[in-house]
Amino acid sequence: MDFVVTGPIFEWRGPAPFFFVAAGEEVSADLTELATGHSYGWGCIPVNAQLGAVSFTTSLMPKDGSYLVPLKKHVRERAGVGLGDLVTIRMELTKR
């Protein structure tokens, strides 16, 4: 199943900075319904994703009833995007 997420890149600071895009309410509701068959633990869902011309694999992370799409440094650099940029990410659920 394919999903499209559009939103700004934001930073969460922990021991190291992490960058995410929030999946939004509608997409998160759909993902929640499918999580049981795809989640491999802690509610994380593996996906193949596309940001512009950059393809990558990652795992969506549940957060407060929603899902976050992590964007690693090498993905952001290759796509030429950064903090605050509005991006569109296409995703396909996978199984681990």
Q: What is the pTM of this model?
A: 0.88
pLDDT tens figures, 3-35? 999 999 999 877 777 999 999 999 998 888 877
Q: How far apart are CA 27 and CA 5, in angstroms?
A: 7
pLDDT tens figures, 71-90? 999 999 999 999 999 999 99
H or E stretch at 27: helix 25-38
- CATH number of the domain where residue 25 is located: 2.40.30.100
| Domain carrying residue 88 | 2-93
More confident residue, 95 or 18: 18
Query: What's the structural domain count of the chain?
Result: 1
pLDDT tens figures, 43-75? 889 999 999 999 999 999 999 889 999 999 999
pLDDT value at position 34? 78
Q: What is the mean pLDDT of the chain?
A: 90
User: CA 48, 16, 51: angle at the middle one, nearest 5?
Assistant: 25
